[in-house]
Chains A and B, each alone.
Chain A
Amino acid sequence: MTAFRLPHGGLIDRSRPLSFSFDGKSMTGFAGDTLASALLANGRILVGRSFKYHRPRGILTAGSAEPNALVTVNTGGRTEPNTLATMQELHEGLRAASQNRWPSLAFDIGALNGLLSPFLGAGFYYKTFMWPAAFWEKLYEPLIRRAAGLGRASHDADPDDYEKCWAHCDLLVIGAGATGLAAALTAGRAGARVIVVDEHPVAGGGLLSETAIIGTQAAADFAASCATELQSMPNVRLLTRTTVFAWYDGNVFGAVERVQKHVGFPAPNLPVERLWRIAAKQALLATGAEERPLVFGGNDIPGVMMAGAMRRYLNCHGVAPGHRVAIFTTNDSGYGLARDLEAAGIVPQAIIDSRRDAIPDSYSGSARVVSGAVVSDACGRKSLSSISVLQNGKSEELKVDALAMSGGFSPVIHLACHRGGKPQWSDEHAAFLAPSSQKGLALAGAADGTAGLQACLEAGVSKAAALLGSLGFTAKPQALGPVEGDIAAGPAKPLWTIPGIREKAFVDFQNDVHRKDITLATREGYGHVELAKRYTTTGMATDQGKLSNVNAIGLLAEERGVSPADVGTTTFRPFYSPVSFGALAGATHGKHFMPARMSPLHEWAKKNGAEFVEAGLWYRSAWFARDGESGWRESVDREALNVRKNAGLCDVSTLGKIEITGADAAEFINRVYCNAFLKLPVGKARYGLMLREDGFIFDDGTTSRLEENRYFMTTTTAAAIATMNHLEFCAQVLWPGLDVRLASVTDQWAQMAVAGPKSRAILQQIIDDDISNDAFPYLAARDVSLFGGQVHGRLFRISFSGELAFELAVLADFGEATADALMQAGDTHGIQPYGVEALSVLRIEKGHVTHSEINGTAVPADLGFGRMASSAKADFIGKHMLSRDGLSARDRLQLVGVMPLDTTAYFRSGAHILAKDADATLENDQGHVTSSCYSPHTGSHIGLALVKGGSARHGEEILIWNALHGEYVPGRLCDPVFVDPANSRLSM
């Protein structure tokens, strides 16, 4: 026989049956069931196979510490492996499957591992699979990983939504059991902003499995009326199905709310999970205590269960664990269970109590009590059939189908240790307690080592009142109770080592670490708690040792002959229990992963056939393919040639644009650029080079003086944000006395480069002002009027291509219409749009640098800007480090041009430059190619390179070497300007 549903009792709704399936078999449960309680009610006690030995496993707990009952629920993109059956609420149509078994749960080939177990003990990875080394990666590890499996994730996309939010409160109460409810009521009634969080679907915690009477109410009814009162208060938020998983700096707590994990079909307008960050002025940990297993032989056989869990299934779900039940306990917890079982008509076969003469007065049941005894072994294959009871050296066999165990209680103190505090062992409590007096966090109730319902209610009230007092609230504590019929399980002497064990006795159920592994670790010199953890893997499974850690520490202490206080604990870290990647990602996935920045000319580019390339967040037009073109190169060559021959239009709106105003704007700009700016006249643009404080180049751009105290600065696209932050630092921190204001206007202006010999003729058709060479010379920068005064614009005569060129800026909303008008006006002049690829070809041909050359290791002189860094200025950012000896060394990497000797040869950026006859080794490295392209203008591949002493080596033959691609291209260093070195085209 096995577990079964009682004819009445429990908090389930028997009028609402729910059908579900487990491993394809249809079953029925009731609303209010968990998957675990429903499986038990259906007599299903074998629910999984263990990690290493593939041993049959059943349901051990009724909560989030469960190590065994891990199942996979749902299918497709909603597949959720490693779901705890003890936490999964039952819903209509739930599909669950067992894990880590093949071909089936009942007949599992992997169970053969059990026969190999002498070779699979602690440290077996390191001992068994060491040789030959090459086999590890290819053979051993994949085999071990497949055999020792958890559930498998789906490769389908998760179809559901997740979200994140913040909450703020005076008092956060974590756990809504007796202590938490008492604390929350006290705080709520005092008018404080309270958030109460509980991981279960219904508030109540241990009250839901309690049969005691509180005041005039049954414990569960008391919990329900507390919850009702809390929900009626506008200043209180009760979050159920929510786990607080971390305590962070600033008293911020992380919590995950499972909004729709308990329904078959999530509503599309709600997230399935919600990640909370809760900023609490004070927090009260009322997380209760975890019952400890006992480490006897066969303690993992299905049918062995924690006493508190058995009591919960009995009283909360109306499920009996079996017909012949025994209880093995070290404390009074077992007697509360015995009394409740008897009330349900199941008299336990025996209560095996490790203590002598310790039957509590409050127990008046009829079960046989075996005092001063232990269960040394449990027997059975896929389910429990008998136990061996050892008393006074004599062993007795008892036929049972269920066994409850209680080895005492460990306060759930994890959160209190997330910020560096270490747990403290208390002999008095036989448990680790939280570090004392931490700011912003207090503990109460069983989490604080308090035993008994009455004491917990009182602790909740008084701790809450004290915390509220510290926040300036006047709480009037109201006593709750009195409690009748509670069998309080106070601390009892721990029982680590159990005598007479014959079978495997498990310490860590999930990672299959057993008693002898701990002995082995100690014997082999890994007895330190941190070493033992890693050597045996105890506490390293997905449950993070919630049940096992304290037993492992107790056993290590006995092995080493010291107190658990001397062994200490490993470090508690977030997360308390696993949190889904979906919840952590929130809405930040798919197209919301990062924002997409579109230029105001995006639609113009699109309708002109642009192919787009991602540049940071921006989508920039890369080239504009035409019918009949064989590939991107053909389009780019055409666009570049057309700029040099006719004219082209390029979207340069993505360049950073900063408006700088104020009486000291000139002085400010003069200090942030290395070159002189004080004398820039109104109506003129100038190229500017910005350095970092260490002397290396930070960014470049042009700055135009539009009015006496109004400047317009452009930056590179890549460094736009960094430059703005840097300028704000300079203005606010370095020179707050300067009258200067900064505004980022990148998104306010649509900016287009019109380049080529026919650019003026085209622009003049839409610009009202005279832009002839005399009226609007090279580097002129002025406001202009467009379309007969309909649109205001800014025109800059600057050139990146080396041709006669202008940049025209209009307010963003007029961008597309203006570009359209330019295309129309330029039609007879042969205007064509060009993208960033052609832009790059044009600038390489002209020897202009970008961040390929401004790579963080270049100073102005390296790139030919040596004379720009003004020695006349007393101060500018970067001046004082620029004069270091090394920065003017003759063999520094300097900008040069590079061409192949054979004009049909191809080379690429990143290739190394070697002396002509040198061996191809990195010792002979002379520098590298920073930018390269096919230049339709020169009819050859060309490049820019940073080469040792390069500016004095023009004309030298070299070897362009790319070891990655096995390319060796003879070439020649040259002037980096391949087009119009005299700049005659700029001033046409």
Chain B
Amino acid sequence: MASLVPCPHCGLRPKEEFTIKGAALPRPSPDAGADAWLDHVYLRDNPRGALDEFWHHTSGCRRWLIVSRDTFSHEISACRDAADPAKERS
């Protein structure tokens, strides 16, 4: 687990300020179908290596972030506000 997280709003902050939700996957569209929804809700990969996750800066700016980290080395390669890519998508 990373000790310090580079929050794009608050700077480098200790991991204790954050809570982790899990893989940063897009929510399927309402008409995506039962299989897509089952996959989204229950089936998650557990990759060794690069992984994007939703982290909430709960005890800081209270923004949801996407933290890109390596599950093996624990190194964080990027951290951005989760609203940014979502805005781009829609």
Residues of A within 8 A of B (CB): 166, 248-252, 277, 279, 693-694, 725, 728-729, 732-734, 736-737, 874-875, 879-881, 883-884
Contact B90 A737 (CB under 8 A): yes
Could you tell me the distance between the alpha carbons of A736 and B88 in the complex, rounded to whole angstroms?
10
By the criterion CB–CB under 8 Å, are B62 and A694 in contact?
no
A734 touches B3 (CB 8 A): no
A-B contacts, 28 of them at CB < 8 A, read A249-B3, A249-B75, A250-B3, A250-B74, A251-B3, A252-B4, A279-B4, A693-B27, A694-B41, A725-B19, A725-B56, A725-B58, A728-B56, A728-B62, A728-B64, A729-B21, A733-B54, A733-B86, A734-B27, A734-B86, A736-B83, A736-B86, A737-B87, A737-B90, A875-B30, A880-B30, A880-B37, A881-B41
Q: Chain B residues in contact with chain A, CB under 8 A?
A: 1-4, 12, 14, 19, 21, 27-28, 30, 32, 34, 37-38, 40-42, 54, 56, 58, 62-64, 74-76, 81-83, 86-87, 90
- Tell me the bound Cα distance from A95 to B2 in angstroms: 43
Contact of B82 among A252, A693, A732 (CB under 8 A): A732
Chain A residue contacts of B37, Cβ below 8 A: 880-881
Which residues of chain A are within 8 angstroms of B38 by Cβ–Cβ distance? 881
Query: A residues within 8 A CB of B42?
Result: 694
List the A residue with the shortest CB-CB distance to B12: A279
CB-defined contacts of B1 to chain A, threshold 8 Å: 249
Are B56's CB and A729's CB within 8 A? yes
A738 to chain B, nearest CB (A): 10
User: With the chains together, A737 CA to B86 CA distance in Å?
Assistant: 9
Q: Given A249-B3, A725-B56, A881-B37, A736 and B30 touching (CB < 8 A)?
A: no
Whether B83 contacts A732 by the Cβ 8 Å rule is yes
Which residues of chain B are within 8 angstroms of A884 by Cβ–Cβ distance? 34
The minimal Cβ–Cβ distance linking B61 to chain A, given in whole angstroms, is 11
Chain B residues with Cβ below 8 Å from A734 are: 27, 86
Contact residues in A for B2 (Cβ distance below 8 Å):
249-250
Looking at B32, B41, B58, B81, the one whose CB has the most chain A CB atoms below 10 A away is B41
Min CB distance A304 to B, Å, is 42
Q: A250-B2, A881-B37 are in contact. Are A729 and B19 (CB under 8 A)?
A: no
CB proximity of A662 to chain B, nearest CB, Å: 14
Cα(A914)–Cα(B69), bound, Å: 51
A940 to B90 CA separation, bound complex (whole angstroms)? 58
Checking A279, A694, A729 against B54 with a beta-carbon cut-off of 8 angstroms, the contacting residue is A729
Structural contact, B58 and A249, CB atoms closer than 8 A: no
15 further interface pairs, Cβ-Cβ under 8 Å (given A248-B3, A277-B14, A879-B30): A250-B2, A277-B3, A693-B27, A694-B42, A732-B63, A732-B64, A732-B83, A733-B54, A733-B83, A736-B86, A737-B87, A737-B90, A880-B34, A880-B37, A881-B38
Shortest distance from the beta carbon of A745 to any chain B beta carbon, whole Å: 14
| Min CB gap A109→B, angstroms | 49
A824 to B32, CA, bound (A): 59
Chain B residues near A883: list those with CB within 8 A.
34
Q: Is the interface of B mostly helix, strand, loop or mixed?
A: mixed
Least CB separation from B84: chain A residue? A736
How far in angstroms is the closest Cβ of chain A from B58?
A: 7
> Complex Cα distance A725/B14, Å?
19
Q: For the complex, give the distance between the alpha carbons of A734 and B82 in Å.
A: 9
- Minimum C-beta distance from B76 to chain A (A): 8
Q: Which residues of B contact A166 (CB under 8 A)?
A: 14
Chain A residues positioned under 8 Å from B64 (CB to CB): 728-729, 732-733
- Given contacts A728-B62, A736-B86, A252 and B3 within 8 Å (CB-CB): yes
A345 and B3 CA atoms in complex are apart in Å by 54
Q: Which residue of A lies closest to B82 (CB)?
A: A733
Chain A's nearest CB lies how many Å from the CB of B84?
8
Question: A895 to B90, alpha carbons, bound, how many Å?
Answer: 41
Closest CB pairs A-B (n = 7): A250-B3, A252-B3, A736-B83, A875-B30, A250-B4, A880-B37, A249-B74
Other-chain residue from B4, B28, B54, B76 in contact with A880 (beta carbon distance below 8 A): B28
Q: List A contacts of B30 (CB < 8 A).
A: 874-875, 879-880
With A and B bound together, what is the CA distance between A250 and B34 in angstroms? 41
**Chain B residues near A728 (CB, 8 Å)?**
56, 62-64
Chain A neighbourhood of B19, CB < 8 A:
725
Q: Which residues of B contact A694 (CB under 8 A)?
A: 41-42
Looking across the interface, which residue of chain B has its beta carbon closest to that of A695?
B41
Q: Which residues of B contact A277 (CB under 8 A)?
A: 3, 14
CB distance from A88 to the nearest CB of B (A): 31
Is the beta-carbon distance between B74 and A736 smaller than 8 angstroms?
A: no
Residues of A within 8 A of B12 (CB): 279
**Whole-angstrom distance between the alpha carbons of A875 and B27 in the complex?**
12
Residues of B within 8 A of A729 (CB): 21, 54, 56, 64
CA distance A874 to B29 in the complex (A): 10
Tell me the nearest residue of chain B to A876, going by C-beta: B30
Residues of A within 8 Å of B76, CB to CB, are 250
Closest to B56 in A: A725
What residues of chain B lie closer than 8 Å to A880, measured between beta carbons? 28, 30, 32, 34, 37
Q: How far is the CA of A733 from the CA of B82 in the complex (A)?
A: 6
Shortest Cβ gap from A972 to chain B (Å): 39
Alpha-carbon distance between A728 and B41 when the two chains are bound, in angstroms = 19
Residues of chain B within 8 A (CB-CB) of A875 are 30
CB neighbours (8 Å) of B90 from chain A are 736-737
Q: Which residues of A contact B54 (CB under 8 A)?
A: 729, 733
Q: How far is the CB of B60 from chain A (nearest CB, A)?
A: 12
Closest to A880 in B: B37
- Residues of chain A contacted by B83 (CB below 8 angstroms): 732-733, 736
A36 to chain B, nearest CB (A): 36
- Measured CA separation A279–B63 after assembly (Å): 24
Q: Enumerate chain A residues within 8 angstroms of B58, measured Cβ to Cβ.
A: 725
Residues of A within 8 A of B87 (CB): 736-737
A884, B37: Cα distance in complex, Å: 11
* CB of A733 to closest CB in B, whole Å: 4
Residues of B within 8 A of A252 (CB): 3-4
Q: List chain B residues, Cβ under 8 A from A736.
A: 82-83, 86-87, 90
Q: Whole-angstrom distance from the CB of A396 to the nearest CB of chain B?
A: 57
Chain A minimum-CB-distance residue to B40: A693
Q: Which of A250, A279, A693, A884 has the most CB of B within 10 A?
A: A250
Q: How far is the CA of A795 from the CA of B58 in the complex (A)?
A: 31
Which chain A residue shows the least CB distance to B38? A881
Q: CA of A733 to CA of B24 in the docked complex: distance in angstroms? A: 10
Most chain B CB atoms below 10 A, which of A729, A733, A734: A733
A337–B12 Cα distance when bound, in Å, is 49
Q: Bound complex: CA of A879 vs CA of B64, how far in Å?
A: 23
Q: Which residues of A contact B82 (CB under 8 A)?
A: 732-733, 736
Bound form: Cα–Cα A279–B82 in Å? 26
Q: Which of A251, A728, A875, A880 has the most CB of B within 10 A?
A: A880
Residues of B within 8 A of A249 (CB): 1-3, 74-75
Q: How far is the CB of A695 from chain B (nearest CB, A)?
A: 9
> How far, in Å, is A776 (CB) from chain B's closest CB?
36
Contact among B32, B34, B41, B81 for A693, CB-based, below 8 A: B41
The CA of A733 and the CA of B54, in the complex, are separated in Å by: 9
Q: How far is the CA of A737 from the CA of B88 in the complex (A)?
A: 10
A889 vs B14: C-alpha distance when bound (angstroms): 47
Residues on the B chain within 8 Å of A279, using CB: 3-4, 12
- Name, among A277, A734, A879, the residue most crowded by chain B CB atoms within 10 Å (CB to CB): A734
In the complex, how many angstroms separate the beta carbon of B18 from the nearest chain A beta carbon? 11
Bound complex: CA A279 to CA B2 (Å): 12
User: Which residues on the B side are within 8 Å of A874 (C-beta)?
Assistant: 30
User: With the chains together, A839 CA to B37 CA distance in Å?
Assistant: 39
Cα(A279)–Cα(B6), bound, Å: 13
Closest-CB distance, A882 to chain B (whole angstroms): 10
Q: How many whole Å from B31's CB to the nearest CB in chain A?
A: 8
* Chain B CB within 10 Å, residue with most, of A736, A874, A875, A881: A736
CB distance from B57 to the nearest CB of A (A): 10
Bound CA span A583–B17, Å: 20
Complex-state Cα separation, A166 to B4, whole angstroms = 12
A693 — which chain B residues lie within 8 A by C-beta?
27, 40-41
Q: Across the interface, which residues of B come within 8 angstroms of A251, CB to CB? A: 3
